[in-house]
Amino acid sequence: MTTQIAVPQIGHLIGGETTAADLRDVHDPGRLDEVVAQVAVGTADDVDRAVRAAHAAFPGWRDTPAAERVQKLMAAADILAGSGEELAPQLVREHGGVLWEAQTDFGLGTGVLQHTASLVEEFFRPTQFDDEQSFISVEKVPRGVVAAIVPWNMPVVLTMMKLAPALATGNTLVLKPSPFAPGALTLALQKIAAILPPGVLNVVHGEGDVGAALCSHPLVRKVGFTGGTATAQKVVEATASTIKNVTLELGGNDPAIVLDDADIDGTLDRMLKGVYTRTGQICFAVKRIYVPRGMYDRFADAMCDRVDQYAVGHGLDPEASFGPLNNEAQFKKVLDLLDRTRNSSAKLVQLGRKLDASSWDNGYYVLPHVVRDVEHTAPVSCEEQFGPLVPLIAYDDEEQVITWANDGEYGLGSSVWTTDPDRGLAVARRVEAGSTFINTHSFDSLDLRMPFGGIKQSGIGREFGTAGLAEYVEEHAIRRLK
Ligand code: NAD
């Protein structure tokens, strides 16, 4: 099953121009012998040119009436919505997901643009005080040039979560996509950039050195970063010498807490969408499941029966429940965690089936696994696996499970599963995380009215909605004495 599609050549986008450069091949993680895009390899010079183009465009964009910027965002949303059908297959061949996951990425990105645009008018209303002594006006102003750095797992929506609030509030942008999923995203951004003044939206491709050059550039005033915690530490170090504001959306080890009144089938119907979707490579996926000891075996058996129905194959194969892992480092990391778990006292259960077994070794494929009879302290319970395996941990009482859920350096998403709404809310309030969902924990759980982000080492700041807009402005306080 090979698909012949033209290989796009993806240059940088600087000051409204697509620039030719050294190109490197991007391979399909499900068919490693296929090149699916050729992408520019950036340098610190490219970063400097892009930042200067964004800096030159900043005064004009800042002074563009907010209503006009909103219109541009709405037009960008239409472009993105109209690009999904054409570009989703390209995205599948870069990031390894199945088609509906890639389409969801475009759909969520469109929603973020539209929702952000709808908030701008109210957001910019100044807070004013007028009394006998003084007139005070607190006004929101853009920061200047924003650098956005994104990973490969959901590149479109993760980009829009930065682009929408940054441009809506009058900043200009330089984006660095992941080298593992640069093509489909950039092809969509080229269309969006074409409706904007040159320099408002720029894209520079490359690896960590390009990201580091952006983070340390003196004309960049803000970095919006999504990626791993270890990379974020480097981002913070690189921004330190020029004191930049940062928003960091990082990894997670999300607990799902099943309470003893939960309905097992109803819980699994919804919960499994949040475990193996995107091959487990979602920051706020269910990463560890806590089940009351009294229902542990019934829950684990029912879960294994369901997971055994999954078929793993290329993302363009309509039969595939999920696709390969995205890249070699991720593949090796997951295989290593599987090996360590196999050699531990836990019971590692391999499930599901291979769709195209003869080409299995031509991609980063891993079957789904459930880890039974595993301790809360085991590596597979404590580390962010970012792959299709999940530990099921038995607990004895509510106090213990809340302590365990809050144990660790991550605090991104989390969930509580129960048939009792009040009990669900009471337990949710005790979980230390940026988001806690009740009876849901997947793409479907997101609501743009909820700020999204992490606590502890899962991040700094929030995306979505008004909280997301606030990350991209400064407050300018003006007082006139009477
Ligand atoms: P990563 O940290 O390796 O890379 C993220 C981006 O940072 C890429 O564009 C990469 O090229 C760039 N980068 C690498 N080194 C850099 C440096 N020194 N300075 C600046 N930029 C640099 O992450 P990844 O492997 O692409 O993605 C997986 C990680 O992202 C996981 O930990 C996952 O949990 C996290 N993630 C978090 C969220 C969220 O919203 N919280 C969403 C998706 C993924």
Which of 271, 272, 279 has its CA nearest to residue 314?
A: 279
pTM of the predicted model as reported, rounded to 2 decimal places? 0.97
149 lines ligand 1 (CB under 6 A): yes
List of residues 6+ apart from 432 with CB closer than 8 A: 405, 406, 411, 455, 456
Residue 443: per-residue pLDDT: 87
- Position 21 scores a pLDDT of 75
Q: Pick the more confident residue, 19 or 480.
A: 480
Residue 4 — pLDDT band, cuts 50, 70, 90? low
Residues sharing a CB contact under 8 Å with residue 25, sequence separation 6 or more, in sequence order: 35, 37, 38
Q: DSSP letter for 394, please.
A: E
- 399 is annotated as an active-site residue: no
Does 197 contact ligand 1 (Cβ within 6 A)?
no
- The structure tokens listed for 43 are 């340098």
Instruction: Report how far ligand 1's centroid is from the alpha carbon of 176 (Å).
Output: 11
Question: Of 167, 176, 146, 172, which is closest to residue 244 (Cα–Cα)?
Answer: 146
- Type of residue numbered 396: D
In the set 215, 283, 287, 384, the catalytic residue is 283
| Residue 111 C-alpha from the chain's centroid | 15
Q: Is 162 a catalytic residue?
A: yes
406 alpha-carbon distance from chain centroid: 22
Sign of CA dihedral 372, 373, 376, 379: negative
Instruction: Name the nearest CA neighbour of 252 among 378, 441, 424.
Output: 441
pLDDT at position 2 over 70? no
Catalytic residue flag (residue 215): no
Q: Coil, helix or strand for 390?
A: strand
Residue 362 confidence (pLDDT): 97
Q: Ligand 1 within 6 A of 153 CB?
A: yes
pLDDT for residue 5: 63
Gap between the Cα atoms of 482 and 201, Å rounded: 43
Longest dimension (CA), the chain: 82
CA neighbours within 13 Å on the CB side: how many for 170? 19
Summarize the confidence of residues 365-374 as an average pLDDT: 98
Q: What is the rounded average pLDDT of the residues 384-403?
A: 98
Rounded CA separation 370/390 (Å): 5
- Distance from the alpha carbon of residue 178 to the mean position of ligand 1, in angstroms: 8
d(CA 231, ligand 1 centre) in Å: 6
Q: Write out pLDDT tens, residues 91-122.
A: 999 999 999 999 999 999 999 999 999 999 99
Q: Which residue has the tokens 């929603």?
A: 111
For residue 208, the CA-to-ligand 1 centroid distance in Å is: 10
pLDDT digits (tens, 9 = 90+) for 127-172: 999 999 999 999 999 999 999 999 999 999 999 999 999 999 999 9
Q: Is the CB of 465 under 6 A from ligand 1?
A: no
pLDDT tens track for 439-474: 999 988 999 999 999 999 999 999 999 999 999 999
Structure tokens at 142: 């853009």
